[in-house]
Amino acid sequence: MNSDWPLFEVFVRSRAGLEHKHVGSLHAADARMAIEHARDVYTRRQEGVSLWVVLSSQIIASDPQEADALFEPARDKVYRHPTFYAIPDEVKNL
C-alpha cells in the first residue's frame, strides 16, 4: 500500500500580469502544506508572486492516442491566420 502523501501539480505566476505556468509537482499532506512546499521547492529565487497547487488526481488530460482526432481538424484551416490573406504593399495599416 502506497502511503505517500497525495501528489499536487504546481503552477507559478512569475510576475503580476502573467499567467500561472506549470512548473512541476510535489507531495504534501494537504493543500496548505502543498503551497508551503511549493514555495520552498519552486520559488527559491523569486520565480513567483503567486502559486496554484492542484491535486494531480483532479487533472483531466487529453489522451495522446486521440491527439490526431482532436487537433488534426485545425491543421488545414490556415485561413484562420492573418498571413493567409495577400494584401498589396501599398495598403497600409491592415
**Which residues are near other proteins by CB under 8 A?**
2-5, 7, 23-27, 29-30, 33, 40-41, 44-45, 61, 63-64
Nearer to other proteins, 15 or 32 (CB): 32
Q: How far is the CB of 25 from other proteins (least distance, A)?
A: 5
Residue number with CB closer to other proteins (33 or 54): 33
Cβ-count burial 60-81 (b if 16+ within 10 Å, e if not): eeeeeeeeeeeeeeeeeeeeee
Side-chain half-sphere exposure of 11, counting CA atoms within 13 A: 10
Q: Rounded to the nearest whole angstrom, what is the least distance from the CB of residue 62 to other proteins in the complex?
A: 9
DSSP 80: G
- Shortest Å distance, C-beta 56 to other proteins: 9
Nearer to other proteins, 18 or 29 (CB): 29
Name the residue among 69, 35, 64 with its Cα closest to residue 52.
Answer: 35
